[in-house]
Amino acid sequence: MPRIFGGRSVLTDQQKFDEYLNSVREAERRIEDAGTRGELQGWRPTLDKPNITRPPDGIPQDIGKHKRLMRDILVLAFQTDTTRVCTFKLNNDHSSLRFPSLGVDYMIHHLLSHTDTADWLKVNHFFFQQLAYICKKLDAIQEGERTALDNSMLMMCSSMLVGSHDASQLPVVIVGGGGGRLEGGRILDYRDKPNRQMCSLFLSLMDKFDIRLERFGDSATRLAEV
């Protein structure tokens, strides 16, 4: 029988502690094993062998494994309250990164900014999978009556809507409950509204952190619907 102290199950606390330690150890193990495959994804040398040094020990050479490790560290940081703010850049706009695991093994910058092909969709689908993974991990962490996802606000955005350098409509996805302050399950369209500014969105989100500024960037107006 689990003992009850202070209204919480000791057995449940022990299970949560073990779960956390196992997650930490798994991340440590993957860092230790990183770089052992001897490959350099994202780089296509012109010589018979790579003419640049491989990434330092602890950085996976496989792109998918590298991003998964970074996502796990992000979740652990939120779980332990090591930080409450984190930025995860999926790809640099001017990057020459390649995705051979997706069958997309050519310069990614031109793919994402000049085309709307099936390969373009593959890479963007891969990017959204990164967000889904983080959400699923956070949703599995119980924090009182809510989950870590319920208590978080995750925003995913892009500098383009589609290829061909179209920045007229910037897609933004916001996931999480913000501790009960953020309503989900909605699509908000600001194409024909006067306060169509990213900084207006940032002001609205900062309000939910109780960070109240008169203005941020080029905006002094909140998005009332957010």
| Each residue's pLDDT tens digit, 26-57 | 777 776 776 565 555 555 555 566 555 655 55
Q: pLDDT by residue (tens digit) across 112-169?
A: 667 778 888 888 888 899 999 999 999 999 988 899 999 999 999 887 777 667 777 8
Lowest mean pLDDT among 31-45, 65-79, 121-135, 195-209: 31-45
pTM of the model: 0.75
Tens of pLDDT along 81-116?
888 899 888 876 666 777 888 888 776 666 666 777
CA distance 39 to 106: 17
Q: Which two tokens stand for residue 220?
A: 């002094």
pLDDT at 8 over 50: no
The C-alpha angle 157, 163, 169, rounded to 5 degrees, equals: 45
Comparing CA positions, the residue from 92, 24, 30 lying closest to residue 62 is: 30
